[in-house]
Structure 1
Amino acid sequence: MTARLGLGTYRCLDVAEAALMAASRGADWVDTAPNYENGQAETSLALALAAYPDMRVSTKVGFLPPSARRLGMRAGALSAEDAEHGHCLAPDYIAWQVARSKRMLGRVPDLVFLHNPEHGCHEGEIADRLYAAFLALEEACSQHAIGAYGVATWCGFSSGLFDVSTLLELATKAGGPDHHLRAIQLPVSLVHLAPVARALDGQGPLADALDAGLEVFASAPLHGGEIPGMVTPELSELINPGRTPAETALAVVASAPGVKRVLLSTGNPEHWMRAAEAVGRPSLSPDVLRRVVDVLGT
């Protein structure tokens, strides 16, 4: 498969332990956010990143960890209203949080995602919000505070609030033809099959990102651990004979056109190695993927 397994830290109870486990077993990417692990995820990752300097890291800006609310307000980067709201993409806050993430991680993040920019945003507001945020992120790139940026969304694409072409247009407006928009992150799983179905027809965010040269990070590939219990032995045998339900589900995600990273949250070494093996096998064919969509729907 062309996709690689990366560590997602949203559901990790011990981020430091999970990162060291994954890195020692060949993981080359870890994804986090300031609000994960009760606001301690970035600090927890610093040890693993120092021990494995070749492992790349992405973090996010948007949702506010409780510890940042008071500090952000004191620094003048965060309004009381945004602190109460719990989510902010104002340029001043982005600059402040990016600098804070760099300190917490102990190094420049390779990628910073806007975290659910659709949160609390209406259709008529989203373009202005994204453009202002992209300007701030382009400035951070010019100052070498981050390597590049992207958009991590749960429902921005599926709701039609924005698409890849819109993101590219706004990034070009903010940073010119050499802008630093490099990736998107969205849920792809047996529960979230619509992006796969559309990609098989050359449409939707996965296909558009592939055409534009953007990396696609697939989040929640096991839907919070629920999917293995939803996959019957008969369905697993139909899709991926001889494999477990979890391996089958991961194979579908990793085989989706355009997906480059499959983010799995686990601190269990056995689960990690089985997942890495599943993602590393040859891709399922488009015919098999279409059969999955036909059976499960979107």
Structure 2
Amino acid sequence: MTAALTLGTYLLRDVEAAARRAAAAPGTAWVDTAPNYLTGRAHRLLAPALADHPGLRVSTKVGFPAPGGAAAVAAGVLPPEDAERGHSLAAGYVRWQVERNRVALGRACLDTAFLHNPERTGDPAVLPIVLRETFAVLEEAASAGHLSTYGIATWSGFAEGLITVEELDRLATEAAGSPDHRLRAVQLSVSLVEADVLELALDGRGPIGTAAERGWQVFASAPLHGGELVRAATDDLAALLRPGLSVAQACLLAAASCPGVTKVLLSASAPAHWETARAALDQAAIPLWNLRKVCDVLAPHHPG
């Protein structure tokens, strides 16, 4: 079974139209965003589509003040130096931004709120303390009905060993006072460019395998590595993955076939690109033995 296609809004051009396309099919009715995407306009541009499609689920993020840094400073929830630095996971600021996100998106309850790039917090020794305090805020928001689940969206946190799924689970348990916490999602890069995490998942290991064991949602971001794969991969590689698919389709299907991945994020502005991606993910998953073979072929070309 392949992962579901999910609309990502990072660098997306026509956000509202793309969101309405995603809402048209139950299997793709999820949009992932952040208040700092599209130079701070993502939430405002998404709001009309979300209002018209109550079944369209949404995940957003907290951590980057832009836009709204000045408002957060004026509200006393963000020190000026953190606004200038451009990132904060301080508990008071996270509480303020969750509320601001709900209002901007027009949703009483966010489906998922991700802590955005916790690796940006600075001192690794302080990170567990920051996460525990922030998880407690997100547990309060969930208890109040302001969000259903929360998670971590990271680019390098797992790869650099700054966080592990096991530690996140432990910190959320401490924050909630119970193993029955609402930390239920991770978002990380999964592609054939940085294939180490995919290789680990093939054996049920690494952050994806460990999250899957817990029944968490795993969002695969940058499955085409910002378009790099479409330019660098060959027709031969596509044929090795799944004959008959284009390079882009085959690479998307590879990410969607990774065991444990439940959602693949794609920023597709053009209707044709979205439909092409959906057609690829409607196919059966690439068998594990085939993914292993491809990883072996690519091994000299990526770290590890």
- 1:122-141 paired onto structure 2 within 5 Å: 122-141=123-142
1:198 aligned partner, one-letter code: L
Asked if 2 retains the 8 angstrom alpha-carbon contact of 1:197 and 1:293, the reply is yes
Q: Taking structure 2 as the reference length, what is the TM-score of the superposition?
A: 0.95
1:203, CA displacement in angstroms?
1.0
Paired amino acid for 2:156: C
The answer for the alignment partner of 1:73 in structure 2 is 73
- Match status 1:259 vs 2:261: yes
1-structure distance, mates of 2:2, 2:248: 19
CA contact (8 A) 2:89 2:121 kept: no
The match for 2:247 is 245
Find 2:219's aligned residue among 217, 220, 237. Answer: 217
Aligned partners of 1:112 and 1:148 also within 8 Å: yes
Distance 2:228 2:241 in 1: 18
Query: What are the equivalent positions in structure 2 for 1:21-100 lying under 5 Å apart?
Result: 21-26=21-26, 27-65=28-66, 67-100=67-100
User: How big is each residue's C-alpha offset from its partner over 1:118-169, in whole Å with a ceiling of 9 and x where there is no partner?
Assistant: 1142321221111111111111111111111000000000111111001000
User: Match of 2:188, as an amino acid?
Assistant: L
Alignment of 1:93-108 (within 5 A): 93-107=93-107, 108=109
Measure the CA separation in 2 of the matches of 1:227 and 1:12.
18
Residue 155 of structure 1 corresponds to 156
Q: Once the 2 structures are TM-superposed, how far is the Cα of residue 205 of structure 1 from its aligned partner?
A: 0.7
Using the alignment, how far apart are the partners of 1:252 and 1:86 within structure 2? Answer: 34
- Counterpart CA distance in 2 for 1:285 and 1:42 is 38
Task: Check the 8 A contact 2:5/2:278 in 1, yes or no.
Answer: yes
Q: The residue matched to 1:238 in structure 2 has which SS?
A: helix
SS of structure 2 residue aligned to 1:113: strand
Mark the runs of 5 or more structure 1 residues left unpaired by the alignment.
none
Q: Tell me the amino acid that sits aligned with residue 12 of structure 2.
A: C
Determine if contact 1:149/1:183 at 8 Å carries over to the other structure.
yes
Decide whether the 8 Å contact of 2:88 with 2:121 is kept in 1. Answer: no
Q: Which residue of 2 aligns with 1:183?
A: 185
> Which residue of structure 2 aligns with residue 229 of structure 1?
231
Q: Which amino acid aligns with 2:123?
A: H
Separation of aligned partners in 2, 1:203 and 1:24:
35
Cα deviation for residue 14 of structure 1 reads 2.6
**Is the Cα–Cα contact under 8 Å of residues 22 and 30 in structure 2 kept in the other structure?**
no
The alpha-carbon deviation at position 192 of structure 1 amounts to 1.7
Structure 2, unmatched stretches of 5+, are none
Q: Contact conserved, 2:142 with 2:149, CA < 8 A, in 1?
A: yes
Report the AA paired with residue 158 of structure 2.
F
Q: How many pairs are equivalent?
A: 297
- The residue number in structure 2 matching 1:17 is 17
Larger mean Cα displacement after TM superposition, 25-34 or 265-274? 25-34
Output one character per residue of 1:211-245: Cα deviation in whole Å (capped at 9) or x when no partner. 01101000011111221111111111122111100
Question: Is contact 2:78–2:93 with CA below 8 Å preserved after alignment?
Answer: yes
Q: Which amino acid aligns with 2:196?
A: A
TM-score (norm 1): 0.97
- 2:207 maps to 205
- Of 225-234 and 260-269, deviating more is 225-234
Runs of 4+ in 1 over 3 A off after TM superposition: none
Residue pair 1:14, 1:37 contacting (<8 A) in 2 also? no
Per-residue Cα deviation, 1:176-225 (whole angstroms, up to 9, x for no partner):
22110010000001112111101112210110011011010000111112
CA contact (8 A) 2:2 2:253 kept: no
The amino acid that maps onto 1:216 is V
